[in-house]
Amino acid sequence: MNKPYQLFHHATEAIRADAGIMERAIDPPTPTCAYCNREWSAVENPGVALAYRYDTGLAYEYLCTTCYTPRIGAHRMLGIDSYRGNKKTPCYGKLGMLNSSGAVITGDGILHLALRIKPYERFKEGWMGRNGQLHQCSSEQLLIQLEQRGRLHEEQGFLYIQQFGNKADNFMAGLALTRAKTEVWSNSDQDARVFDLHAAHTLAEIIRAHDLTTKAKRATFWRDIKQWAQSGRYTDRLVKWEQETPGADMILAALPADPADCAGIDKRVQAIIEAQG
């Protein structure tokens, strides 16, 4: 019943196989995995633990193979991240070190990474880069692009990773699977959040229908709406915006129910408009 972990495990199988981590496996000395808190019988490789510590002098944490994955240097899948020390020792790219980069894992277990320009340039020669699984865009743009190409299916479920962040324990502890586009789980090393992709599509349609696509690219178009949605304050500026904007009542009605979701609604709608051309 741990579908998000199964999907993550399936999508990252090659990273673990390349690193040969099973040679370092030990019998679990703790009742549960330190990150996902699942019992050792319920994890993807039952009864197998890996010891990890952040630095010498710090205590070991015992992790299941799935939660250990962000700590593995993916030398074949990603490639060299940097060279360290006087001897220029190569340091391989790790999922857990891709701060401010995100990913989407489709229902059939394909990992697509959304990278910024510098990590993209570093890793584009790796296996994932050559296989078309690296994308130079934001994680939200990647999600919308894959949705447009019909790669995301609600029945199968998919994993949307907004960013891997720098706290792999937090990231792995709360992995959540998306089963409906009205409630997309945004996994990150922060607290898990949900957003309504369906509402963003509705808003994009309304904006397109009222010929507001150019205006909707400006931050000022969204400023007062977002403030209203997040705090419930109905300002004079919003009244003026309503008077000036055709279809304003429809836009306000189509905003997501969750006020926290409205914080990023502008970027989401802009990405949809951009993807639709």
Partner 1 sequence: MPRTNGFNQTDSLFRLVLKLHAPLILPQTTPRLDSLLQEAMARRHQDWQTRHDLPLKFDSALGVYRASQMIFGMTAQQSIASSTIKFATQEHGLDRAKVKKPKRRIRKDGGIHVSKMTSHTGYYAPYVLFYAQGDPEAVERLLAMLSGIGREYANGFGYFTIAQTMLVHQGPGANQPWRFRPLPAGTTNDVPFDPIPGVAHLVPNGEHVDVVRPRRMLRETMPSE
What x-and-dash track marks residues 127-166 binding partner 1 by CB under 8 A? ----------------------------------------
Q: Which of 51, 91, 133, 183 binds partner 1 (CB under 8 A)?
A: 183
DSSP letter at 50 equals E
What's the min distance (Å) between Cβ of 177 and partner 1? 8
With b for 16 or more beta-carbon neighbours within 10 A and e for fewer, the 109-147 pattern comes to bbbbbbbeeebbebbeebbbbeeebbbbbbbbbbbbbbb
Instruction: Tell me which residues in 77-96 interact with partner 1 (CB under 8 A).
Output: none
Distance separating alpha carbons of residues 277 and 274, to the nearest angstrom: 5
Q: Name the nearest CA neighbour of 79 among 92, 89, 69, 70.
A: 92
Q: How far is the CB of 222 from partner 1 (least distance, A)?
A: 16
Note whether 30 binds partner 1 by CB under 8 A. Answer: yes
Residue 5 lies near partner 1 (rule: CB under 8 A): no
DSSP string, 204-221: HHHHHHTT-TTGGGSHHH
Q: How far is the C-alpha of 230 from the C-alpha of 130, rounded, in Å?
A: 42
Q: Is 51 helix (H, G, I), strand (E, B) or coil?
A: strand
Q: How far is the CB of 19 from partner 1 (least distance, A)?
A: 22
Site for partner 1 in 211-270 (CB under 8 A): 230-232, 257-260, 263
Positions touching partner 1 (CB under 8 A) are: 1, 3, 30, 32-35, 37, 54-55, 57-59, 61-62, 167, 169-170, 173-174, 176, 179-180, 182-183, 189-194, 230-232, 257-260, 263
